Amino acid sequence: MTIVQLTDLHIGATHAGDPAADLRAAIGAVNEQRAGSAPDAVLVTGDLVNDGRPEQYAEVTALLATLDAPVHVLPGNHDDRAGLRAAFPLGALEPDDTPADAPYRWAAVIAGVRVVACDTLIPGTDDGAFPPEQADWLDRTLAQDASTPTLVAMHHPPFAVGVPILDAMLPAPGERSGLAAVLARHPQVRRVACGHVHLAAAASCGGAPVLTAPSTWRPQFGLDIGDPELRILDGPAGYVIHALLDDELVAHVRPVDLRAG
């Protein structure tokens, strides 16, 4: 089983390079993966577009359709729930009467791994949230299947990466503690997969390993621990391969050669 994680595509952004060209390069790299590395599915952990506009969702939908694997998504702080739901309907994964602006979250077994996607979006802000209501939803959802290896996915990570501007956007400490308490009750969770910070970083939450993925978009955030200024680097863009090997969910961070795209 292999799931490729893409994140922070930012389609429609115009202030730095061409995110669509960068995404095409990443898709080309994913489609060229051979044998056991070819993905059974692709998971996009938020910020599919930059401004939540319908034309941006139309563009990203067309781009992601060129992947040689099914695509599953969740929202980031640049997304719009109604726009995301229109472009990527959840169908049977949520009740028919779900409001368009309701939290966009779901659970599904994908090639032997159960993926549980959470929604950390606070409309109108870059900050993330994991309120008690969502912690209860996650607890109930995880309790429905305690045996299948599980990947929990969300946009904002539940740990500080050391870059103050990014760390200020995380869910509140109490909300992160609530998430940790839920994860500690469900050892079938093999990883929490996140985006948002445009760099690869690893920690743990409630005993579960957590990994953030680099963005597919060329601008990456520099790692200057404790520096109040945010430094932007010209790459490397990348993505993550999550592979179920001997009942362990192993993660590989892969760079994308944007020159090839």
pLDDT of amino acid 223 = 83
Residue ranges and CATH numbers for the domains of the chain are 2-260 (3.60.21.10)
pLDDT of amino acid 258 = 60
pLDDT digits (tens, 9 = 90+) for 54-77: 999 999 999 999 999 999 999 999
Say which residues have a Cβ less than 8 Å from residue 27's Cβ, sequence separation at least 6.
63, 64, 66, 67
Query: 18 near 63, Cβ under 8 Å?
Result: no
- In angstroms, rounded to a whole number, what is the distance separating the alpha carbons of residues 208 and 112? 19
pLDDT digits (tens, 9 = 90+) for 32-49: 988 778 899 999 999 999
